[in-house]
Structure 1
Amino acid sequence: MGSNRTDILTPAQEAYARERAKGATQRAAYRAAYPGSAKWKDSAVDSAACRLEATGKVSARLGALQEAAARAATVTRAEIIDAQGLLLRKGREAVERHSLADKEMAPAVKALADASDRLMEWLPDEAPEEGAAFCRDFALLLAPPFLEPHRMIADGHRGDIWLAGGRGSTKSSFCSLEVVKYIESHPDQHAVVLMKRKADLRDAAYAQVVWAIRALGLEDGYDMPESTLRITRRSTGQKIIFRGCDNANKIKSIKVPFGYVGCAWFEEADQFAGMAEIRKVTQSLTRGGEGCVRLYSFNPPRSARCWVNAEMERREAAGLPVFRSTYLDVPPEWLGGQFIEDAESLKAADGRAYRHEYLGEPVGIGTEVFDNVVFRAITDDEVAQFERLRFGQDFGWYPDPWAVTGSEWRPGGRTLLTFCEDGANKLTPDGQAERVRALLTWDGGDGLPAYHHLPVLSDDADPTAIAVQRDHGVNARAAGKGKPGRMASYRFLQSLSEWVIDPERCPRLAAEVRALEYAQTPDGEVLNEIPDGNDHWVDATRYATMDEARRARGYRKAA
């Protein structure tokens, strides 16, 4: 479906305006912008060009380009005086060489003097100071750790800038501000903002750039339609394009209306599979340009051997900068009292989780996915006291099984206790419903078994199975697994102070957790990627805690 916007120029209209700004006639500009008009009569071209230039958006764009050209062509009083002197010297030489009478030179000299005087009256008293096209006191918006990378970019740095930090370190705020500043400072270039998952863009990177535009007081100069995931600078037509890299090969399809991509921001760069995938994306983005500023912001993964942590070590060993920051480097009033209180509370309750989440330290040592799991027996007396039960299920047939788990969530201690499971191959939704009801049937308080109608957050991939289970009295609901997504919900389980699993009650879950390791390349590089396929009971538990994971990520609760 085409856009309903009336103020965006087509590529041909933009080309016409640029040709006119260079000084081309209407006829020449129209033929250059619309090659199909080559066979038209001159009168037809002139008529079409007049109509085109009379339209409001083309006229406004042409005016902006001409104004920019005029600013670029500014002359000073000193330059005019120098020109006058040069012309007068040349005139005297011509008089002496050709014996011209003074009266023959007088009209030319008078015309020069009159024109120069009129121009001198129009010019300001002093030559304007040369300054940047975009001026803003970034010191008011940047935390101290980001002043050095800001100066690097302002001085014309091209290449990679790596920014690692924990929660509240404002690294994403810095990147979004620099993206907008770059657009303002380079009117012939564009920016691309990338995340691994397209589903995360709107609530994360896009919202962050909108914040930056407003923080800089520039909202009147940008069109920010959330539906398109493209932000346009009105005066120039520059684009800030947002893309998910679910399929890195599709990045080749990014097209800009003019110029090239001069700035790229990889938000949550650790979510990319590895440097090979990063390189594939950057090679596609930077074709045809004169260099690109590439910003990489991320929270270091838990595993010290993960590729992004290894890449930071490699860069630092080679003398290349990696900029690290934490919430402790940020003015407390920027974060608010609740943020500080939450950080200090976690520090007291679980120092290791605090170091990872808030200080950005890779607290894991190897390739294991879960280093916070405790395998122990969960007693019947403990189960009898559970009050915040969470059930989830992952659908499968064969060879993938249907899997369901039950856990107790303890938010105060950030602890999860998984105490029951079930599963089978080739089990129909009717059979699944019967097994779920059995799992949810226990003492009703009077010594008699009762069915507890608790929510069972379920794999979204099979809405038919959910519907059948509901028909059989199971309170099955879609987990909304698209947000926060697989890796983010894994990170929630990894962030727990403790995940207790009873290996006797939950043998299949325990086996999966013990076997899970991060993926590795053939040469041993550890990727921030968890192999899919042998994690069905882990998935069931992820779905069971999806609401908690959403809240931890700041997402709105799924409908």
Structure 2
Amino acid sequence: MSSVEVSLQETVGKGYVDFWRFKGRYRVVKGGRGSKKSVTAALSIIFNMMKFPLANTLVLRKTFNVHKDSTWAQLKWATYRLNVGHLWHFKKSPLEAIYKPTGQKILFRGLDDPMSITSITVDTGFLCWAWFEEAYQILNEDDFDKVDMSIRGELPTGYYKQLTLSFNPWNEKHWLKKRFFDVPDPNILALTTNYTCNEFLGDDDRALFEWMKKNKPKRYRVEGQGEWGIAEGAIYEDWREEEFEYKELIKTGAYKAVFGLDFGYTNDPSALVAALVNEQEKKLYIFDEHYESGMTNDKIAEMIKAKGFSKEKIIADSAEPKSIDEIRGYGIGRIQAAEKGPDSVINGIQYLQQYEIIVHKFRCPNVSIELSSYVWDQDKTGRFLNRPVDDFNHALDALRYALEKIRKPVRSTIII
């Protein structure tokens, strides 16, 4: 087998020397968008597996079905970035990556299938490393601990066990902060990175961050600079994550299905939310979501059809009547505009605050993120105002639209 010479400085870039060299148990990096944290993690995994011929890696996301378009694709890209793509085989069924010369494997799992994690075995060598991508989506620390305990056992001399966690920071009350960033521990490397260390960004990418810095400074602090988000002044407090089967709830006859859609494009995502409402018990189960930037109206219609919601009544942001008409023309016949008013945001929030909100633990990660991050605005003295910060609210705006017909039911008119 011929050797391949690669300059790591030119391939990986700067800003991650400590991350690359660390051999302790926990290698944790939070960073804003464009900080190259995920691609650097992928490059280091490929590099180290080829360096340690008995090492295998477990890659985890909160839900399994997002791996193919994220970690699996990033690791495949990393092999070609390192000029070793011909030495790797990336399989789709089952989803895994195999280093051809040794048979070492990268395995992909989701926390939504606990049995697939506890029963892991490898054909060659040892399970040495795990990578948690988008670790902020894991709201329950116990879910992390179960995987942590599975990386165990004696290793050959020179080998080491390590868990890598990469994520975008948000709520400072998240267990990740207390566990890894607030304690001095030689077994923990906790880094904060941002887009300024990514020399591979284009001028247009940097211009987007400058726009965010000027127009959305609080979001820039989190997504641009990689700092923790605001935790005080949460608008919604009575909510939790839970696993549930929404079809069983529908069978009880006590719940009404509602659907809402908020439009976005370049800087903001389009957000669809599906929920079940029990008006008598004031319970709200959020069972599905879609959250994606850059969606044209035909793609939104395709997504709604793929989810099986094309015949449902969907209440959409009335600020874009043209988009609503186009989506209706693509076969989503019952979509209609929300009835906004001067106090519709506050009234909608006050109505939602009456409900106990249960979010599906694995199907709706972005709803959970927004519920944790949506806060009241403050004046210069720190006093909270009766208006929300216009941020982390795309799914929650969609939720407000979805409940509009319940909050303001159509009254029949009797003519005598």
TM-score w.r.t. the length of structure 1 is: 0.48
Instruction: List alignment gaps of at least 5 residues for structure 1.
Output: 1-63, 68-132, 372-394, 427-453, 478-499, 520-526, 532-536, 546-559
1:224 aligns with 2:93: no
Q: 1:402 to 1:338 in 2, by over 3 A?
A: same
2:110 aligns with 244
Q: CA deviation at 1:228?
A: 2.6
1:349 aligns with 215
Q: CA deviation at 1:159?
A: 1.2
1:165 aligns with 2:31: yes
Q: 1:231 to 1:423 in 2, by over 3 A?
A: closer
Q: CA deviation at 1:423?
A: 7.1
Kept in 2: contact 1:272–1:528 (CA 8 A): no
> Which structure 2 residues correspond to residues 185-200 of structure 1 after superposition, within 5 A?
185-200=51-66
2:398 aligns with 541
d(CA) in 2 for partners of 1:511, 1:268: 31
1:261 aligns with 127
Identity of aligned residues (%): 20
1:300 aligns with 169
Query: Alignment partner of 2:59: what SS?
Result: strand
**Structure of larger gyration radius:** 1
2:189 aligns with 321
1:148 aligns with 2:13: no
The CA deviation string for residues 473-504 of structure 1, in whole angstroms up to 9 with x for no partner, is 96258xxxxxxxxxxxxxxxxxxxxxx85344
Q: CA deviation at 1:219?
A: 0.9
Letter in structure 1 aligned against 2:351: R
Which residue of 51, 67, 78 maps to 1:212? Answer: 78
Letter in structure 2 aligned against 1:324: T
Query: Alignment partner of 1:335: what SS?
Result: coil
Letter in structure 1 aligned against 2:147: V
The answer to which structure has the higher helix fraction is 1
Q: 1:358 to 1:540 in 2, by over 3 A?
A: closer
Kept in 2: contact 1:191–1:239 (CA 8 A): yes
Kept in 1: contact 2:63–2:110 (CA 8 A): yes
Q: CA deviation at 1:249?
A: 4.3
Which residue of 312, 320, 333 maps to 2:180? Answer: 312
2:145 aligns with 279
Q: CA deviation at 1:200?
A: 1.3
Q: CA deviation at 1:164?
A: 1.1
Aligned Cα RMSD in Å? 4.5
Kept in 1: contact 2:104–2:125 (CA 8 A): no
2:352 aligns with 509
1:340 aligns with 206
Which residue of 237, 247, 255 maps to 1:400? Answer: 255
The CA deviation string for residues 95-133 of structure 1, in whole angstroms up to 9 with x for no partner, is xxxxxxxxxxxxxxxxxxxxxxxxxxxxxxxxxxxxxx9
d(CA) in 1 for partners of 2:48, 2:235: 38
d(CA) in 2 for partners of 1:406, 1:357: 24
d(CA) in 2 for partners of 1:222, 1:415: 35
Query: Alignment partner of 1:255: what SS?
Result: coil
1:475 aligns with 333
1:360 aligns with 226
Which residue of 3, 6, 9 maps to 1:139? Answer: 9
Kept in 1: contact 2:24–2:186 (CA 8 A): no
Query: Alignment partner of 1:203: what SS?
Result: coil
d(CA) in 1 for partners of 2:25, 2:187: 15
Q: CA deviation at 1:256?
A: 0.8
d(CA) in 2 for partners of 1:269, 1:422: 28
The CA deviation string for residues 405-448 of structure 1, in whole angstroms up to 9 with x for no partner, is 576x57699699xxxx997769xxxxxxxxxxxxxxxxxxxxxx
Q: 1:539 to 1:505 in 2, by over 3 A?
A: closer
Instruction: List alignment gaps of at least 5 residues for structure 2.
Output: 238-248, 281-299, 315-330, 336-342, 361-367, 373-393, 403-416
The CA deviation string for residues 168-224 of structure 1, in whole angstroms up to 9 with x for no partner, is 111111110111111101112211111111121011111110111000000111111
Query: Alignment partner of 1:321: what SS?
Result: strand
Kept in 2: contact 1:327–1:358 (CA 8 A): yes
Query: Alignment partner of 1:236: what SS?
Result: coil
> Which structure 2 residues correspond to residues 456-475 of structure 1 after superposition, within 5 A?
463=308, 466-467=310-311, 475=333
Q: CA deviation at 1:232?
A: 0.8
TM-score w.r.t. the length of structure 2 is: 0.63
The answer to which structure has the higher strand fraction is 2
Kept in 2: contact 1:403–1:540 (CA 8 A): no
With a CA cutoff of 8 Å and minimum separation of 6, indicate the structure with the bigger relative contact order: 2
Letter in structure 2 aligned against 1:475: G
d(CA) in 2 for partners of 1:425, 1:324: 44
d(CA) in 1 for partners of 2:88, 2:269: 45
Kept in 2: contact 1:266–1:297 (CA 8 A): yes
d(CA) in 2 for partners of 1:529, 1:510: 15
Bigger mean CA deviation after superposition, 251-260 or 274-283: 274-283
Q: 1:263 to 1:475 in 2, by over 3 A?
A: same
d(CA) in 2 for partners of 1:287, 1:542: 47
Q: 1:511 to 1:237 in 2, by over 3 A?
A: same
